[in-house]
Chains A and B, each alone.
Chain A
Amino acid sequence: MPTAPVGLTLDRTGSAGAGGGGLDRAGRAHWHARANAVVLGYLALAGLALVLHAQLPMPRWLAVHLLLLGAVTNAIVTWSEHFAVALLRAPAPSRRRSAARLAVLNLAVVGVLAGVSLEHAGLVAAASVLLGLVVAEHTGTLLVRAHRSLPGRFGRTVRFYVAAGVALLVGATLGALVATGALGHETHEALHAAHVHANLLGWVGLTVLGTLFTLWPTVLHTRMVDGVMRAAMWCLALTTAGLAVAVVGFVLDQRPVAIVGLAGYAAGLAMALRPFVATWRRKRPYDLASWSLAAATGWLLAIVLADLVLLARSADLATYLERLDELVPPMLVGFVGQVLLGALSYLLPVVLGRGPVGARAAARALARAWPARVGALNLGVVLIALPLPDPFPRLGWALVLAALTGFVALAVPVLLAGRKPAPTPTSTAESVTVTHSPTTDSHPPVATPPPAAAASRRRNPALIGLVIGAVMTLIPVGIALSGDAGSGGPATVVASEATQEVPVTLVNMDIRPGVIEVAAGTRLRLVVTNQDAMRHDVAFPDGPKTRLLAKGQSQTLDLGVVTADLSGWCTVPGHKAAGMTLDIKVTGGSAPAANGSAGTSGSMPGMNHGAHGNGSASASEPSVTTVDVHGKPGPGWTPYDATLAPAPGGTVHKITVRASEKDMEVAPGVRQRMWTFNGTVPAPTLRGQVGDVFEVTLVNDASMGHGIDFHAGSLAPDVPMRTIDPGESLVYRFRADFAGAWLYHCSTMPMLAHIGNGMYGAIIIDPPGLPKVDREYVLVSAEQYLGPQGGIADMAKLRANAWDTAVFNGYPDQYVHAPLTARVGERVRFWVVAAGPIEGTALHIVGAQFDTVYKEGAYLLRAGNADRGAAQVLDLAPAQGGFVETVFPEAGHYPLMDHDMRRGENGAHGVVEVTP
């Protein structure tokens, strides 16, 4: 059964509208009015998500996907079919089939939006499959249509739509993998980058590029320049191949491959630019549609180049991914949003307006105040894209929102008009979209509608007033709802309704609010947002847990119906102890105590269970590690070499320090997961001369944030001592202007935990004219606060200074097991740095006297001094350093120890074996 009259859907000037006539055009107008109303609806929702961002579970994700998956995907499916039919001069598609496709598409879109918002992996997967099926059907239909149609001049641009459809299939699959976390945490960011590129540069970018070859001259009302199709085919080959390579590069985490791919894509863009610019030179943009398309193309080019530069300049993919997010908003607004607005403001009048008069009236309606709107949008994008301080990006978003609101408000009446039954068409001649009459440069005379109607249509005060009022409402409401961070937040939030959603902010190593009171039986949802530079999570024992949130990320935790007190905390090591805890307190009714397995820390100060005399030990500690301080090291243990080599030559020392975690034996029978610099505790000793420059590259190979602080240099700590996330690196450059035995250590809070867990070392800058001696040793003193076997340092012990052992160079009694050596009559220099984190040291060598003592940059004693003085102890507070020298008088075993006997007899002990 033939379903549609065979005729050209897009009329060309004159007679080509065979069999079309008014009826077909009216039907088309009705169809486009409905399909594009859906697009506008998603646009409006995206704007709303921007305004209400503080109230939504995943505001950024939701706004992005309402725009791209909602508005843009609907527009692409609708318009690529429309253009394909026109370009291929194919028969009109079955409206019923198109409508069914859109219906299923939107079912899938809503499914994805709901699934991700509700964190329902099954729904996300099912909706993604559905989305893939719809797009595959759509792309397949285009392919079949292209295959069947006669070879036309511009028909080959339909291949862009096919390539775009394939890109979306890949991109949507990647997106579903990211959203459901199916491939685990490690691949998350690589897949995310691939997803962003496949969808933005592929699904959206290729569709737009393919359309621009014909739409751009059409919008400008000029002819196509020569060689368009050649450029188009080159563009298609380069962009699709480049994009494919880039996506593979991202997925495989291969930065150079991704760079090559992106460069290919950029080259393809350059091919597309040639006819674009040539057309521009023939006829300049002059209205809303042409300027919007021109500006959008500019943004696409700028952002692809910025993307390429960012990727090329990032040390690795992880660093790049951290900053990729900054490119997405200008891309979405400047390119995607603007192309959509520009194309719709040209196309809607053409397909909806009945006859040239109606089309022009609709175009005029959409073009109200267009220079201001285009200006506002692009100024907004500039403010968003540039790294400006706070009020400017916000102003940028307000401008973007105003432009968006303006468009939606103007387009709604046009669409409503398009749904009404058509008046008798006055003319079938209409100059539309693809091809053109030779006389295109001359504008048709402006029709003059009846004056009264014109006046009321052109400037409807009610409508303008509505827009003014809407903007005046949205701006203040946006301010009122903006950001929940800040200092003034209440310490306790009282929640009382049946279902309660409470915003929770992670900031400054703190969870705010720290206490949430709810009535028993309340269903509690926490919207957790991390405003801290460091990554955090929030976890409840035997309950839900957020993923590790980077700065600005949010996640909603559903605690279910709360009947008993609960405690949650950040599980990043040390953060709970630093105060990142959150207590849910049940009020009203009989609040039963949490059951034992919930592991709540005793909430009432007086109710300490257990009989610790020293009330500091945490009740929640699973196991207590006992240590045999003087026991034998396990097999395979090697002592830390205390021998200090002379400073290497040269005045510039380039050093790479890698922060990493390592399981090691730290005391007899005790293994701990240490946090290390370069895999040893203490970290390798660095040495140089006064005036030397140290260029240290810190690479974070660990699973949490770390930083570094060199006491041997003087500089503003803000940048070099900042905490970097896993996978990042930084360069810390300083000149050692002063001599001394200096400490270096991790600069990330809580440092008590980071130093206590092994991130410390010595850096020695020789005093000028330091005499050469026979032997030099370096001893870094510290304490151990052992956590459970295989675990990390016990934070409660650290805070109580309840150390288990004291050590030189990381292991108790280390140099009892592997004595230091010297010969009779040799001058031996012992460098000492006290790493702490809490205790200092009082170094003494039994049977020896120190004739030279250097402490904190000054000689206290020199050999052969006039007073015949000598010293017995080098005493150092935490982080101080110095050296002593002695000459052993005869062969024997000289104990080397901390003369604070608590430490000296609990591990800070060694032997110097002196032979003749």
Chain B
Amino acid sequence: MLGTWSLVRFLHVVSAMIWVGGQLTITAMVLPVVRRKLAGPAMLPVMTGVGRRFGKFTVTVFLPLQVGTGVLLAWHKGVTWSSLSDPGYGRTLAAKLVAFALVMLAAGGHGWARGSGHPVLARSLAIGSLIGSLAIVLLATALPVS
């Protein structure tokens, strides 16, 4: 049944899709090509530009939308703080939140490392963030149907 709550869930899923897909596209598709084709000084501004743009999208669109719809969905589902430790739905959701926090830390760390001249660390964190995002999706699919 299409309704308000399916719309909220739609926004939650779509924005996650775009964010994970965006990371995958940039890390696995765009940047390797850039690195190969634009060796030398031309490479840096392109990479920084792409990263900045994606970072801006993350902070202004993705994060507010994801956290907002997430909180709404949890409220709708009747999730409480104490229920997060219950086995099954609660604990899976808690694990997903932990994974989300870790991925956000890694993504933030990536931005910082890129800006302060630690390219290897930055790339490592980007790859870690991408894999961690997949873990979030895995946990999301493990949540019982709501």
Contact = CB atoms under 8 A, between A and B. Distances in A.
Interface of A: 459, 461-462, 464-473, 475-480, 482-490
Contact of B124 (A461, A478, A484): A461
Given A476-B99, A477-B139, A462 B134 contact: no
Interface string B93-137: 011101100110010000000000000111111111111101110
Given A472-B135, A473-B135, A480 B92 contact: yes
Contact of B91 (A472, A475, A479): A479
A464 to B, nearest CB: 4
Contacts of B125: 465, 468
A461 B124 CA distance: 4
B94 A479 contact: yes
Contacts of B129: 469, 472
B38 to A, nearest CB: 18
Contacts of A489: 86-88
B42 to A, nearest CB: 20
A296 to B, nearest CB: 29
B17 interface: no
Given A480-B91, A490-B88, A465 B139 contact: no
Given A472-B131, A473-B132, A488 B124 contact: no
B91 A469 contact: no
A548 B48 CA distance: 63
B132 A469 contact: yes
B94 A472 contact: no
B142 interface: yes
B86 A477 contact: no
B86 A466 contact: no
Nearest to B122: A461
B100 to A, nearest CB: 9
Contact of B131 (A468, A478, A486, A490): A468
Given A476-B95, A477-B95, A480-B92, A468 B124 contact: yes
Given A466-B131, A472-B128, A488 B90 contact: yes
B6 interface: no
Contacts of A476: 95-96, 98-99, 102, 135-136, 139
Given A459-B120, A479-B91, A479-B98, A486 B127 contact: no
A473 B106 CA distance: 13
Given A472-B99, A472-B128, A488 B88 contact: yes
A465 B88 contact: no
Contact of A461 (B95, B123, B139): B123
Nearest to A469: B131
B102 A480 contact: no
Closest 5 CB pairs of A and B: A465-B127, A469-B131, A468-B128, A488-B86, A461-B123
A785 B125 CA distance: 70
A660 B88 CA distance: 42
Contacts of A482: 91
Nearest to A472: B132
A470 B138 CA distance: 13
Nearest to B90: A488
A465 B98 contact: no
Contacts of B135: 469, 472-473, 476-477
B103 to A, nearest CB: 7
A465 B131 contact: yes
A47 B23 CA distance: 29
A832 B9 CA distance: 71
Contact of A472 (B90, B102, B123): B102
Nearest to A461: B123
B25 interface: no
Interface centre among A469, A478, A486, A488 (most CB of B within 10 A): A469
B95 A479 contact: yes
Interface centre among B87, B102, B126, B136 (most CB of A within 10 A): B87
A475 B90 contact: no
Contacts of A472: 99, 102-103, 106, 128-129, 131-132, 135
Given A468-B125, A476-B99, A477-B139, A484 B87 contact: yes
Interface of B: 83, 85-88, 90-92, 94-96, 98-99, 102-103, 106, 120-132, 134-136, 138-139, 142
Main secondary structure of the interface of A (DSSP, over half): helix
B128 A469 contact: yes
Nearest to A456: B120
A76 to B, nearest CB: 34
A462 B138 CA distance: 21
Contact of A464 (B83, B90, B91, B124): B124
B91 A461 contact: no
Nearest to B103: A472
A479 B129 CA distance: 19
B35 to A, nearest CB: 11
A251 B134 CA distance: 51
Nearest to B83: A488
Contacts of A483: 87
Nearest to B119: A461
29 contacts: A461-B121, A464-B120, A464-B128, A465-B123, A465-B124, A465-B127, A466-B127, A466-B128, A468-B106, A468-B124, A468-B125, A468-B127, A469-B127, A469-B135, A472-B102, A472-B129, A473-B132, A476-B95, A476-B96, A476-B139, A479-B91, A480-B91, A480-B96, A484-B87, A485-B87, A486-B85, A486-B86, A486-B87, A487-B86
A482 to B, nearest CB: 7
A465 B128 contact: yes
Nearest to A474: B135
A477 B124 contact: no
Nearest to A479: B95
A461 B103 contact: no
A162 to B, nearest CB: 47
Contacts of A470: 131
A490 B88 CA distance: 9
B94 to A, nearest CB: 6
A473 B129 CA distance: 10
Nearest to A482: B91
Contacts of B86: 486-489
Contacts of A475: 98-99, 102
Contacts of B131: 465-466, 468-470, 472-473
A292 B131 CA distance: 30
A461 B99 CA distance: 21
A181 to B, nearest CB: 31
B145 to A, nearest CB: 13
A184 B16 CA distance: 57
Given A468-B106, A475-B102, A482-B91, A462 B128 contact: no
A489 to B, nearest CB: 6
A792 B48 CA distance: 80
A488 B90 CA distance: 9
B137 to A, nearest CB: 11
A848 B127 CA distance: 94
A725 B16 CA distance: 52
Nearest to B143: A480
A300 to B, nearest CB: 35
Interface centre among B92, B132, B138 (most CB of A within 10 A): B132
Given A476-B98, A477-B95, A487-B86, A461 B106 contact: no
Interface centre among A461, A468, A478, A490 (most CB of B within 10 A): A468
Contacts of B126: 465
Nearest to A473: B135
A480 B138 CA distance: 11
Contact of B130 (A467, A469, A479, A484): A469
A641 B106 CA distance: 78
Contacts of B123: 461-462, 465
A488 B86 CA distance: 5
Interface centre among B94, B98, B126, B131 (most CB of A within 10 A): B131
Contacts of A464: 120-121, 124, 127-128
Nearest to B93: A480
Given A459-B120, A461-B127, A473-B138, 10 more contacts: A461-B123, A464-B120, A465-B127, A469-B132, A476-B135, A479-B94, A479-B95, A484-B87, A488-B86, A490-B88
